[in-house]
Amino acid sequence: MIRVAVDAMGGDRAPEAEIAGVLQALAGLPDEFVVQLVGRSEIIEAELAKHPDADRSRLEIHEAADVIGMGEKPLAAVRRKPRSSIVVGLTLQKQGRSDAFLSAGNTGAVLAASTVIFGLHNGVERATVATLFPTGTDPVLVLDGGANLDCSARELVGFAYLGTVYMRDILGRANPVVGLLNVGEEEEKGTAVVREAHHLLKQSPRLSYTGNVEGRDILPGPQRRTHVDVVVCDGFVGNIVLKFYESAGRLFVAMLSARAPDVLERPALRELVGLLDYSSYGGAPLLGVRGVSIICHGSSSPNAIKNGIRVALQAVNAGLNAHIAAEFAQREPAARS
């Protein structure tokens, strides 16, 4: 029985969205699992009381007296608040009493606490937040999604391996194609760090590295020159493109709705809007730590929480962490020093 700890205090709409999402997951996901709600018991109980019909047989409550706010400095907050829902939830897993953790709270704090509490796999230099971009067909993994603003070339190479294992395990792509996000396809394009990363990636074993890709190659479509499954970039670029894409999708839908409101009622178009909905992917896994930690958007809907739980279950079921450890154990000692 998989145990998923959910930070009940984290998101902008906590605990309402979290509790509703957890109940949807328990009712709707096929896997056998229990949810461990982590937070202030009385607040959780009060929210659960709004759902009198909820099946509580697979629900536990784990008391955590403190909350790390969205604006707090991550590492300092993690150190100062050992009784916060984030630290308590991750510690459960470290102690072997839980299998996965999910939070829509302070992203930096989840990253810092996960790194401190779990540690990194041997050979991993930095943990990364991996975000799936919906495309209407096969989603594309972009990493880093905002956790690491400045990255070295070696760290970018590490992201390529982490993303490859993730796409294989969770999306079932046997041989994911990796691209390095750049301003042009040619060797000499890009900043010094990106040029060095390209050089290193070309020599990296067991990667399907296709080379530099441009902004137009992330999404499928007529403009794409190179198919990619995994796009590697630093977290500054990744975060900006991710948020830009969300807003572009909403702008297109809003424009369509203003000009052809009837059209959005058609099933084929409702499906299209759904395909482009970020909440269908739910959560971004933190890759590289020795544990399962899923980061959800602060404004996550219940559906996003539910789908974040699905991602957590997939990571546990697939043995993602064992595969990441095995992949990095195969890397050349020189690449790990």
Which residues contribute to the site for a copy of itself (CB under 8 A)? 71, 73, 135-136, 146, 149-150, 181, 183, 186, 188, 190-192, 194, 214-224, 233, 235-237, 239-252, 254-256, 259-260, 263, 266, 268-269, 271-272, 275
Choice between 203 and 299, CB closer to a copy of itself: 299
Give yes or no for a cis peptide into 134 (omega within 30° of 0): no
Structure tokens at 68: 């790390």
Q: Order of strands, edge to edge, in the sheet holding 230-232?
A: 131-133, 140-143, 230-232, 177-181, 208-213
CB of residue 275 vs a copy of itself: minimum separation in angstroms? Answer: 8
Cβ atoms < 10 Å from Cβ of 139: 17
> What is the rounded CA–CA span in Å between residue 20 and residue 28?
12
CB of residue 82 vs a copy of itself: minimum separation in angstroms? Answer: 24
> What is the rounded CA–CA span in Å between residue 278 and residue 17?
16
* Whether 177 contacts 228, CB under 8 Å: yes
Coil, helix or strand for 132? strand
Choice between 61 and 197, CB closer to a copy of itself: 197
CB of residue 234 vs a copy of itself: minimum separation in angstroms? Answer: 9
Choice between 56 and 79, CB closer to a copy of itself: 79
> What is the rounded CA–CA span in Å between residue 163 and residue 131?
10
Choice between 53 and 150, CB closer to a copy of itself: 150
Q: What is the CA radius of gyration of the chain?
A: 20
> What is the rounded CA–CA span in Å between residue 14 and residue 18?
6
Choice between 82 and 221, CB closer to a copy of itself: 221
CB of residue 131 vs a copy of itself: minimum separation in angstroms? Answer: 12
Choice between 263 and 326, CB closer to a copy of itself: 263
Choice between 2 and 295, CB closer to a copy of itself: 295
* Whether 249 contacts 276, CB under 8 Å: yes
CB of residue 183 vs a copy of itself: minimum separation in angstroms? Answer: 4
CB of residue 250 vs a copy of itself: minimum separation in angstroms? Answer: 5
CB of residue 214 vs a copy of itself: minimum separation in angstroms? Answer: 5
Pick left, alpha or beta for residue 296 (phi over 0 → left; psi -120 to 50 → alpha; otherwise beta): beta
* Whether 296 contacts 283, CB under 8 Å: yes
